[in-house]
Amino acid sequence: MVPISAVIAPVLISFFHDTFTALWIGGMLALAFSVLPAIKKILGKSKETKALNALIKKKLSLLTYISMVGLIITGLLMSRKAEISGLYTGFLSFGTEYSTLLSIKHILYFVMISLSVFRSLIVDRVKKFTPEQKQKLNMLTLMLNILAGLAVLFLSAYTSVLASLPTP
């Protein structure tokens, strides 16, 4: 039997990694499919709608940035275990099936970061966009980020299954 002290750190790292993932991707899903439609239905296209959307965006951006940092830290810690097992051959490496899938996941993660930064820091500052164009661009980047996030979740599940298979 494995002593509990040997599993506590990996369990906590995995727990925090999963929590940061749930915060980020779950937040985007809730925003796109619950919060924004409810606000639009109740408040319409009023000044209050715009103010509420801006406040929600600001609050969720903070959670997103915390999640980004947390995912990088926990991901680096998790990669040590995969390196030791021989499954992981290095950052953005395509040497094994596991590393290839993980590299694609990392590329999508960087796409998600770019979309999040673009949505939270750039879209609303572009003067030549009308408010309607900004709203559409915000929604488009949110939906693209959700798709990338779902792909990341799929690849996470895939690599988790690969890591649990017996080695030949």
d(CA 158, CA 34): 28
Identity at 61, one-letter amino acid code: S
Tell me the pLDDT band of 12, cut-offs 50, 70 and 90: very high
pLDDT band at 29 (very low <50, low <70, confident <90, very high): very high
pTM of the model: 0.86
**Three-state DSSP class for residue 130:** coil
- CA angle, corner 149, sides to 14 and 67, nearest 5? 50
Per residue in 96-144, pLDDT tens?
888 899 999 999 999 999 999 999 889 888 889 888 898 899 999 999 9
Contact 152, 25 (CB under 8 A): yes
Would you tell me how many other CB atoms lie within 10 Å of the CB of residue 44? 9
Helix (H, G, I), strand (E, B) or coil at 122: helix
Amino acid identity at 40: K
